[in-house]
Structure 1
Amino acid sequence: MLTTRQNLLEVIKGGNPDRFIKQYEAFKIVGGDPVGANNPRATKGGPNIIDNWGVTRSFPANVPAAFPVHDEEHKVVKDVTKWKEVVKAPKLDYPESDWQTLKANAEAVDRNEYFCTVFRAPGIFEQLHHLMGIDSALMNFYEEPEAMHELIDYIVDWMLRYAELIVKYAHPDAIFHHDDWGSQISSFMSPEMFQEFIVPGFKKVYGYYKANGVQLIVHHSDSYAANLVPYMIEMGIDIWQGAMSTNDIPALIKQYGSQITFMGDIDNGIVDREDWTYEKIKEEVAKSCKRCGKLYFIPSTTMGLPESLYKGVYDAVNDAIDEMSKEMF
């Protein structure tokens, strides 16, 4: 029997896996770096907080996650041509002793069995719209492209310096990076605009990781982004996590499978619900596994971490994937 790590490599290389990878099981996500640890986080039902980029975040009790507050009072960037006056990236110059928790957590991972994985969020596009609001970000691509390019370069430079520290102290096998690029049915940007503004920065960041020992880039975008897959490949993404069923994953596997693997196809909106049942989850997992097949595909909910909104759903999906492994392998 293959180790979990070996099995994943067989899946993404089009080899001979002996079972389905169950969602995130191949990735041991390690934390403990001081940049993340010292970034204030909103708690459910708690007061608003201001994060280290100056973004005000709210987490009402009746919503699944925190979100930026973008009324005129709270926007960090009100005029993108003046971004230099208001945007200040978080500090990275923590003493070496502050990085020892991350280092120890990474060293504890059994790398024969798993990929030691560092989680990073937000990405370039999300950081832009967190600072100014998504409507303003999208309009500024048209109206103020020069200023947007400058701000992106500033964000990417910070991301690269952060990446250098992650590599130094964790030596990760994989990076799991978030940046949502669309709704359920469409990308937020045209492919041409995406190529101009988003692709170059991620090529630098992901290229740095790949040049410094990182084997896999796993990118989360729980959205429609089928029209952006060629650019994902250009960026160096190995696994697109969060790929919703609206992308027609079987068609994408057929066209791009030898170049990128798709992790998802089990939409949270269908299975991760208050009224969930194992039978419904089993039905959806079976449909997904049968239509997508054994190679270049990891059955998973589209959730951006190994968890679910409703207790028991994540584990139930894993159990259903186990059943399909018995049936199809």
Structure 2
Amino acid sequence: FKLTADLDFVDVVIDETEDTILKKDGNGALLRRHKHHDTTPEHVDFTVKDRKAWEELIKPFLTPDERRINFKAYRDAKRKAHEQNKFFVWSGINVFEAMHPVCGHEHMLIGMAWDPDWVKDMVDTYSSLTVSLQEILFEKEGLPDGIWYYEDMGFKERPFMSPAMYDEIIKPGHKKTIDFAKSKNLPVIMHSCGFVEPLL
């Protein structure tokens, strides 16, 4: 799904070198990407650093607009998997991976400590949006065989947050999205880079 807040925003090039390009996107984020190879973008700056900016600049745009869904890509991948007798999953990000492109890891994690209700609101908004978009997609194109979520929540040796913070702030969003999948009898795989065992 395309979870950029402002779907009509055209990325603005801020700086460009032979190897990299710095753009401002529809989340108000400044991200630098390499031109010659695929990698995680460098997080340069974010317009959203607190609850006020989130409520004014991002949340009002996060509606279940069908432009957020690539129906053709899903349809084609589903058909190809079934032709090859392969297990087909809808794959996408969950709430943690949806939030940091808006405000960055640092602001999000500090927000979990200093303003947990702000991050809870982001979790609720993105989990509700994900479920709404899945409902639209699956009604029009049929169910997958399962769901795969990308949700990188840890450093090499520890999670980004304490188990208590996870349970209070992030887990309700995971429960909402996974409960929806289970209501459709779909198995769920939650992939997470980093050491997240303490959260289990």
TM-score bucket of the superposed structures, by smaller chain: 0.7 to 0.9
Could you tell me how far 1:157 is from its partner in structure 2?
1.6
TM-score normalised by structure 1 residue count:
0.50
After TM superposition, the score normalised by the length of structure 2 is: 0.78
Pick which of 180-189 and 110-119 moved more: 110-119
Tell me, what secondary structure is at the counterpart of 1:115?
coil
Q: Counting strand residues as a fraction of each chain, which structure ranks higher? A: 2
Change beyond 3 A, Cα 1:94–1:62: closer
SS of 2:81's equivalent in the other structure is coil
For 2:80, which of 105, 108, 117 is the aligned residue? 108
Residues in 1 aligned to 2:100 and 2:54: alpha-carbon distance in whole angstroms: 13
Deviation at 1:127, TM superposition (A): 2.2
Within 2, Cα distance between the matches of 1:182 and 1:62? 27
1:154-183 residue CA offsets vs partner (Å, 9 max, x unmatched): 122211112213322241112111111111
User: In the TM superposition, what is the alpha-carbon distance from 1:190 to its structure 2 partner?
Assistant: 0.6
The alpha carbon displacement at 1:140 in A equals 0.9
Aligned residue number for residue 179 of structure 1: 151
Please report how far the alpha carbon of residue 91 of structure 1 lies from its aligned counterpart in structure 2 after TM superposition.
5.7
Out of 203-212 and 61-70, give the one that drifted further. 61-70
Shift in alpha-carbon separation, 1:61–1:204, aligned structure 2, 3 A: same
Supply the distance in 1 between the matched residues of 2:90 and 2:177 (Cα, whole angstroms). Answer: 14
Aligned residue for 1:133, secondary structure, equals: helix
Q: CA deviation at 1:120?
A: 0.2
Q: Give SS of 1:182's match.
A: coil
Q: Deviations over 1:110-160 (max 9, x none)?
A: 388421112202x21222222112122111111112222222211222111
Verify: 1:158 aligned to 2:129, yes or no. yes
What is the number of equivalent residue pairs in this alignment? 188
Cα deviation for residue 83 of structure 1 reads 1.5
Letter in 2 for 1:191: P
Select between 146-155 and 81-90 the one with higher mean Cα deviation. 81-90
In 1, Cα distance between equivalents of 2:83 and 2:120: 38
1:58 aligns with 2:32: yes
Query: Is 2:65 the counterpart of 1:92?
Result: yes
Corresponding residue of 2:109: 138
Aligned to 1:218: 189
CA distance in 1, matches of 2:133, 2:23: 23
Work out the CA distance in 2 between the residues paired with 1:133 and 1:227. Answer: 23
Q: 1:144–1:61: structure 2 CA closer, same or farther, 3 Å change rule? A: same
Residues in 2 aligned to 1:138 and 1:163: alpha-carbon distance in whole angstroms:
27
Cα distance between partner residues in 1 of 2:82 and 2:49: 47
Displacement after TM superposition at 1:47 (Å) = 2.5
Distance 1:186 1:205, change over 3 A: same
State the alpha-carbon separation in 1 of the partners of residues 23 and 185 from structure 2.
36
Q: CA deviation at 1:107?
A: 2.7
Q: Counterpart of 1:246? A: none
* 1:201 aligned residue: 173
Runs (5+) with no aligned partner, structure 2: 12-17
2-side partners of 1:183 and 1:143: how far apart? 21
Structure 1 unaligned regions, length at least 5: 1-32, 230-329
Deviation digits for residues 205-262 of structure 1 (CA, Å, limit 9, x no counterpart): 1111121242x21111111111112xxxxxxxxxxxxxxxxxxxxxxxxxxxxxxxxx
Name the aligned partner's letter for residue 186 of structure 1: R
How far is 1:50 from its partner?
A: 4.3
Please tell me whether Structure 1 or Structure 2 has the larger radius of gyration of its CA atoms: 1
Partner Cα distance (1:125, 1:89) in 2:
16
C-alpha change, 1:106 and 1:63, in structure 2 (3 Å) is: closer
Partner Cα distance (1:103, 1:62) in 2:
30
Corresponding residue number in structure 1 for 2:15: none
SS at match of 1:66: coil
Runs of 4+ in 1 over 4 A off after TM superposition: 38-41, 61-64
